[in-house]
Amino acid sequence: MDRGGCQMNGGGGGGGSGPVEGGGGGMITLEDLESFTEEQQSDSGNGSLEDEEEDSDRLLHYWQDVARGHQVEVANEMAEPIQQLTSNNNGRSNREHIPFTLLSRKEKCGELLYEKRHYEKGHWACITMHEETYEQSICYGFMRIMRYICQQNSLGVYLGMSLPIVTVVRTDENHSAVAQGVTVAYYLPTDHQAQPPRPHDSDIIIEIWPAAIVYTRPFTGPTNELTIVDQIHTMAELLEEPAVCVNDSFIVAGYTNPAHSQRQNEIWFLERR
């Protein structure tokens, strides 16, 4: 598999979207499971080993049912990572947000058009996928990142969740289509930035992304090829000097459940270095 790069300077690999995405613009993420998990915990009895195994099976079957509708298969071996990710992230306080410095904001009539931010250099775990569809690449890429987060690393521990999960997308010259290659990237939480654990999966690579100036615009709803292309065109029209940005590589950042109709996303343009 082509492992590609995914640096924030636009010099890296393919592109994509946030966590496990589905063919209709939906995506399975830890947020997608919150309400399900609350019901599960209320019905979990005395917390015995048998209850835990039953809960794990229910979560796995839930993921499999949702993914099947998007032409994605969730293997049985995903049961443990799904259980770990869900049980360790019951509440948004457990998720670390990628730090940045806000440089400026562009508004019109009280509406935020975009922000200009500075992100420090940091370690990211990246995997580039080349599945048949854009959504399938995101699904399978994020599930492999999930395994890395959930103990399949040199420390053998749960690493913690950070937001947003980002993907680097490449387009043609006219920004009319998204390239097939999709890179899913996970920012290592602060406790692991100095010495990132090594992935067991040889296709996941740890990269140091350089410091970057990012122009970012929020949008809601699903992320798919059509919405991404539309957001790229919108952002290009809003920027006062679009030529200062990389014009063939962009980032889509996902903060909330992508299956939700009001999913919170951002499109990121990277300033040329």
pLDDT in tens, the chain (273 residues): 444 445 554 433 333 333 333 333 344 444 444 444 444 444 444 455 555 566 777 777 877 776 776 667 787 878 777 777 777 765 554 679 999 999 999 999 999 999 999 999 999 999 999 887 777 787 788 889 989 999 899 999 999 989 998 989 999 888 888 888 889 999 999 999 999 999 999 999 999 999 999 999 999 887 788 889 999 999 999 999 989 999 999 999 988 754 444 678 999 999 998
Instruction: Classify residue 224: in a domain, yes or no.
Output: yes
Residue 9: alpha-carbon gap to chain centroid: 18
* Phi-psi domain of 87 (left: phi exceeds 0; alpha: psi -120 through 50; beta: other): alpha
Instruction: Classify residue 90: in a domain, yes or no.
Output: no
Q: Are 15 and 167 in contact (CB under 8 A)?
A: yes
Instruction: Classify residue 88: in a domain, yes or no.
Output: no
Determine the Cα–Cα distance for residues 252 and 17; give it in Å rounded to an integer. 5
pLDDT at 7: 54
Instruction: Classify residue 48: in a domain, yes or no.
Output: no
- Tally of domains within the chain: 1
Instruction: Classify residue 87: in a domain, yes or no.
Output: no
Whole domain around residue 103: which residue ranges? 20-25+96-270
Determine the Cα–Cα distance for residues 145 and 164; give it in Å rounded to an integer. 14
Instruction: Classify residue 51: in a domain, yes or no.
Output: no
Instruction: Classify residue 179: in a domain, yes or no.
Output: yes
Tell the residue number behind the tokens 């998720």, with chain if given: 95
Determine the Cα–Cα distance for residues 167 and 17; give it in Å rounded to an integer. 4
Instruction: Classify residue 231: in a domain, yes or no.
Output: yes
Q: Are 165 and 18 in contact (CB under 8 A)?
A: yes
> Radius of gyration of the chain from Cα atoms?
18
What CATH number is attached to the domain comprising 230? 3.20.80.10
- Which residues contact residue 113 at a Cβ distance below 8 angstroms, ignoring those fewer than 6 apart? 106, 107, 217, 238
- Which residues contact residue 129 at a Cβ distance below 8 angstroms, ignoring those fewer than 6 apart? 1, 14, 16, 136, 137, 138, 140, 141, 181, 182, 183, 184
> Beta strands 182-187 and 111-119: pairing type?
unpaired
CA dihedral 67, 73, 74, 75 (to 10 degrees): 170
